[in-house]
């Protein structure tokens, strides 16, 4: 008999994170077998009933296995749909193909839109993700999308591990200025920006620092670190301009290619990433790597979605979870009664991110 309880499933991309979320929710992972045939086809077998249950499928993007992980996710969603699950929520900490979100040249595909279409065709009713590379990806969906922020967890880490009075927040490029200034404002710290000049695509010829970092701990913040070329060059620029030390804090530590080698040989004192992407093996190879656990954020988002509670909350209620709200503040003046959740995890206006 169905109890409409939370059923948490996961594939092979990030079982460690799924286990942490399950522990936080006080449940066990739903039995499932995901394997590949000898011809590399993916096979999924769900080991228990999900009929009329609230299903959450957590699947991240492990470097080098992004397409396999995406295919696993699509098949698991469709398997739950044909098994008569009441609602299927895809929990995707690091959204795949997020950087291909626009047509920036002739005949270029908008792959992030294609991924959104595939998820909905497979049977997804709701998406939970974190720190989307571009917020407009939410508009690619016709189902509710909750974009969680790692910023509160980052703020907590900075306060606990650094001398805040002697630090400066730095954005490694102009695109991340809004993110960096938001953190700087909340910590009441100065802000600096690095301007990149390119002679050709994917090649940074020169970096120019705008702001003062002399004798301070420079904290670079960004949404993702892939090959880490930008972070390494930014660290060199900051040290050359008198920074005492340089620390990088990024949400998605993809760390592909020669990223670990670059970090070990760089002037970066520490690189802090969340566990949205599996990186335990790389952590053993790089003593400079540190981790922020975001499983409490994901678990609380799942719980509130299941219970039909408001998704957007104040920092006093739970510092780790802040959902992005897209409505214009002018449509919701002060004093208006708080809006109730619609049961799909879309929250109220309280605690709206500025």
Instruction: Name which of 238-242, 249-253, 307-311 the model is least confident about.
Output: 307-311
What pLDDT does 199 receive?
60
Q: Would residue 269 count as lying in a domain? A: yes
Q: Would residue 337 count as lying in a domain? A: no
pLDDT tier, 263 (very low <50, low <70, confident <90, very high otherwise): very high
33 shares a domain with 128: yes
Q: How many domains does the chain have?
A: 2
Given a cut of 60, whether residue 69 has pLDDT beyond it is: yes
Instruction: Name which of 54-63, 137-146, 152-161, 333-342 the model is least confident about.
Output: 333-342
pLDDT tier, 88 (very low <50, low <70, confident <90, very high otherwise): very high
Q: Would residue 334 count as lying in a domain? A: no
Contacts of 24-29 with CB under 8 Å at 24 or more apart are 24/295, 24/296, 24/299, 24/300, 25/299, 25/302, 25/303
pLDDT tier, 66 (very low <50, low <70, confident <90, very high otherwise): very high
CA 132, chain centre distance (Å): 6
- Domain end, chosen from 292, 318, 338, is at 292
Q: Would residue 336 count as lying in a domain? A: no
CA distance 255 to 264: 12
Of 328 and 102, which is predicted with more confidence?
A: 102
Given a cut of 80, whether residue 346 has pLDDT beyond it is: no
How many CB atoms within 10 Å of residue 26?
9
100 shares a domain with 51: yes
231 shares a domain with 144: no
| Predicted TM-score of the model (pTM) | 0.85
Given a cut of 60, whether residue 341 has pLDDT beyond it is: no
Provide the β-strand partners of residue 6.
54
How confident is the prediction for the chain on average, in pLDDT?
Answer: 87
What pLDDT does 2 receive?
61
Given a cut of 50, whether residue 331 has pLDDT beyond it is: no
Most confident of 1-10, 206-215, 239-248, 311-320: 239-248
pLDDT tier, 336 (very low <50, low <70, confident <90, very high otherwise): very low
Helix, strand, coil percent content, the chain, rounded in steps of 5: 30, 25, 45
Q: Would residue 349 count as lying in a domain? A: no
**CATH number of domain containing 56:** 3.40.50.2020
145 shares a domain with 155: no
| In the block, residue with structure tokens 């595939």 | 118
155 shares a domain with 128: no
Q: Would residue 331 count as lying in a domain? A: no
User: In which domain, by residue range, is 30 found?
Assistant: 6-149+295-307
198 shares a domain with 230: yes
Q: Would residue 312 count as lying in a domain? A: no
Given a cut of 90, whether residue 171 has pLDDT beyond it is: yes
What pLDDT does 320 receive?
43
pLDDT tier, 195 (very low <50, low <70, confident <90, very high otherwise): confident
């Amino acid at each position: 008999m169905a109890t409409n309880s939370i059923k948490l499933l996961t594939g092979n991309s990030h079982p460690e994170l799924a286990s942490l979320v399950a522990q936080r929710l006080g449940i066990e992972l739903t039995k499932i077998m995901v394997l590949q045939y000898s011809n590399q086809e993916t096979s999924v077998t769900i080991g228990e009933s999900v009929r009329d249950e609230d299903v959450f499928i957590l699947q991240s993007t492990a470097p080098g296995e992004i397409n396999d992980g995406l295919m696993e996710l699509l098949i698991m969603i469709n398997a739950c749909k044909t098994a008569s699950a009441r609602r299927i929520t895809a929990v995707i900490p690091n959204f795949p193909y997020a950087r291909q979100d626009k047509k920036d040249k002739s005949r270029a595909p908008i792959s992030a839109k294609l991924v959104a279409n595939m998820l909905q065709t497979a049977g997804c009713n709701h998406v939970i993700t974190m720190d989307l590379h571009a917020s407009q990806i939410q508009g690619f969906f016709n189902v509710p999308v909750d974009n969680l922020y790692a910023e509160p967890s980052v703020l907590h880490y900075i306060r606990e591990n650094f001398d805040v009075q002697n630090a400066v927040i730095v954005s490694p490029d102009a695109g991340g200025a809004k993110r960096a200034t938001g953190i700087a404002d909340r910590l009441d710290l100065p802000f600096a920006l690095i301007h990149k000049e390119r002679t050709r695509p994917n090649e940074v010829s020169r970096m120019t620092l705008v702001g003062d970092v002399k004798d301070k701990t420079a904290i670079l913040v960004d949404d993702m670190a892939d090959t880490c070329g930008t972070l390494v060059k930014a660290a060199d620029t900051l040290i050359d301009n008198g920074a005492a030390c340089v620390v990088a804090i990024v949400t998605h530590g993809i760390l592909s290619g020669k990223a670990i080698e670059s970090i070990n040989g760089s002037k970066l004192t520490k690189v802090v990433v969340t566990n949205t992407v599996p990186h335990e093996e790389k952590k053993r190879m790089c003593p400079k790597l540190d981790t922020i656990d975001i499983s409490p954020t994901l678990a609380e988002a799942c719980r509130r979605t299941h219970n039909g509670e408001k998704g957007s909350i104040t920092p006093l209620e739970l510092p780790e979870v802040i959902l992005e709200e897209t409505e214009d503040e002018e449509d919701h003046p002060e004093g208006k009664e708080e809006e109730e959740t619609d049961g799909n995890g879309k929250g109220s206006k309280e605690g709206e991110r500025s």
